[in-house]
Every structure is written in structure tokens, then in C-alpha cells.
Structure 1
């Protein structure tokens, strides 16, 4: 006699898997690619030594904020009233030629009118530009620099930063590396401010702030856990809040794998997924849900 056994299988999706959609690509950096503004934990604390650095930066510095784009100030405007300002523009040039100015002032000197106020006088053009700076070096050292619009420009649009995974299963777990230190000014944030959507519905939040007295990173910690899901297709989205970061290590979900076996067999189902970066491991009746790592977590049920 043969029975159909249903065993739970854990499927691990590494950060390098093509199953995870990172958006926009410019806000995500694989740990295997050099990045001057990314956080840099040691690879041994991550699954398979890799992670994806997702940073949601609100840029506050662009090209027009740099000194090399300063504009020479215009000449000091006249304080005279009425038509004196206009007459004064020509008075200094013409007075030397005919000895007569149009302002009836001090005999053609062209310096003051009868009110005693200085009129407009042409001055030699001088450069008031500050020393030039290399904007490219600023861009490489300051993650808040952008060559496009920054937050004080009318054309600025804040692009959402997210990671997305579609899966079929009854539970899902998200693991990340946790920055422990506080970020200095004008450096990549270490604050984690994450919102989770499951099937387009709010499913929870996770927040963690580093402290000035700490440093380093915690190895893979569960930052989102959702169990008891119907065994149907689901879509998980992790949104990164403004001026915060996510070091995504891997995502794990549990599904049911059915197979024919003898009644005496207790061997759990084990196989490998076809998606690169994904691995299935038999777990018998399933693994207990891990507790969420340090930080503030609120799951929507």
C-alpha cells in the first residue's frame, strides 16, 4: 500500500538569486562589486559570503551647490531714486568729454548727485569665484551628492527603493545583516526603516538604530517572519524608507512538497530549485519560526 506524504520544505533564496527583483538597480549594490559609499561588513557573517546593499538616499547636494558653480555677483545697484540712476550710467562717460553732466551735481565729477548719494559707477570686472573643487571627488565621498536634481529642486522625484520576491508557500522569513554603529554626517546611513508588503497589503515594519558606542554588524538576523499563509502564490515586497539601509542576506520560505512513498518511509523530501541562488532543504514537519532580530518590529496580522 502506498500513501501520499506531504512534507515541508524550506527554500533558501540567496541575495544573488535572479528570483529577487531589486529596484531601482542604481540603489542596490552586490557585495561582490566595489562600492565606495556602501557599508562593509566582513563576508564571513553572511550566507555564502554575499549580501545586497540597498540604500534609500534623499540627495541634498547637487552640482549647483558646489563652489565651482558660483556666479560672479552683479554690480552694486544704485541707491538713487527717480531718474538719477539712469542718468548716472552715462554721466561718468560723457562728463569727461563735454564737461557737462545731466544731473546738475558737483560739476561733472560724476560721483554724487545733489542728494549726496552715490550714483552707479562702472567698476573693473573682477572674478569673485571661489577656488574650484573637483565635484567628482565630492560625489565619491558623499552619498548625498547627485549629478541630477536634489531635494531642493522643483524637478526632484524620490524613487522608491525595494526588493521583491514571488513565491508559493505557507511561511516566509527575511534575513539581513544589522549595522550596530551610528552613521557620521554625510556618510551612508546605518538606520534601518523597512516596510513589508505581502500580496500588496501591509504586513509589518522593522526599524533599528545604531549607537555611537557600538560598531560592526550582527550576522544574519530574521527581520521579518510570516507563517500560517495559505499554500498559494504570494508576492513579498520590502520597502526601504528614506535615508535608511538594508543589507539583505537571504529570504527563506516554506512550502509543501508532495511525493509517493511507502508507509514505513519517514525520509523527508529534499531537492534543489532550478533558480540560481536558491536551495531547498528537507525539514520534515517544518522549522519553528525564528524570533525577529534586534530592533523594533511590528507585524500586521
Structure 2
């Protein structure tokens, strides 16, 4: 299934795509694409519904973040060896975990706003993993049972705030609009191998990122297991799993950063595409 949320910010309604790609309303069936809706039992209830019996929503409706009421937005840093190299940092021996502010979450096609006093706003296409049942100290063998589905994420990052301003990475990762999520939550049963998905990102038509999840240092199975050793993951929590090379910071001979006015387009095989205009806060 491809689940999504449509409507104006803060007033999104749950929806599902039918076989022809039309948006069908789930309003009155589930309260949101969130929490208990994402449990195995919740998804099974949705699978039992024929989308063609549901009301059709306008094709041009705004698409919101594909998950509502996100409890935790967990991110993994330097999870592609070639991205670590372009960042001039060693490949981690264990996953690097940081948290992105939930207030950064926006829809997949909403504007991305460069924060005030920013000089180094950057892009990162990433595979998002949405948790479907509580995960605490889960084994690698059990980890995938806790995954509801996958989505596209742009882990927008301000590199000066992240690296040069002291403290942790969080201050460069959590600015408003720095977390476009969607367009869809694609349920795990429709993703044959999350470790073999092509992914890409363009800025103004120039392809900067062109990678694959197969080059992750730590795969989805290990990440769900690993993160669950440090915090309980709940249905609707999101893990953003790292980015392949091609970020602006790594461009040679000189980095390229967003200045405002650009259009970012990005996508992951089978999970849809995002498009963001870049503005200023």
C-alpha cells in the first residue's frame, strides 16, 4: 500500500493511492497515518479495504508529511562510506545517531527555507524507515518485523550550524522545513529489498546525488536493532538512514550551497519523488 496525508498544514486527512494512482480518502476509517494505524493489525485492516470504494480526493491536493504525530525523528550520520570520505571523516565503527527536531517536518513538496544567518544550507536524499510496532532491545533477526514501511526524506542540513558552531549536530539539522517526508509511506511488503534501491537528487536540473541503498555501511535491519538498544521505538517513529555522496559540502573544487531560488528534486526507486522550492526564513 501507498499511504499518504493530504490537505493544508495541520489539517491533513489520511489517504491511500489506488491501483491507478488516484488519491482515495481514509477519513472516517482511520484518524491519521500515525500511531496504531501503522501497527501490523492496523495495516491489515487497511489491506482489507478496496480503495475503489473510497471517495476520490483532488489530484492537485497538497501532500503533507506521510506520517503524522511523529514521536521521534531519529537520524543516522555518515552511513555511506563514500559520503564519509567526501566529508573528510572516518567511516563509523558504530552508527552515528542524532535526533532531528519534529518541528522540521514538512510535506514533500513544501518550500524549504534557508534559516537566518545561514551560509551553508545543504541537501541529503535519504531512505526513511517508519516503525510499525514497539521496538526495545530487538535482535537483528526480529528487527524487520517492526518496520511498517519506507519513504523519501530530504535531510536538509546547515553545515556551519552543524559543524562549526560547537555542540552536537542537532542545531544544523532541526531548522524549520529541514525535514520533508513523503510523498508516500510505502508498506514494507511492497519493498522487496530496502538495501537495493536507487536514489537521486537534483538541484536546478543538475544531478548531484546518484546512489543506492546497497552502499549503506549499516543496513536497515541493523539500524532498527541498534537504535532500539538506546531508546524504545514506537509506531510512527521515523529513522532517516543516511545519505550517499553528492552533497553540496563535498563538491570539488569548492562546495556548493543553497542560496535561495533553487528547486530541489529527489526520489528513491518505488517510493516516489519530492520537489522543493528554496526560499528564506
What range describes the TM-score normalised by the shorter chain of this pair? under 0.3
More helix by share: 2
More strand by share: 1
* TM-score, normalisation: structure 2: 0.23
Larger radius of gyration: 1
* TM-score, normalisation: structure 1: 0.22
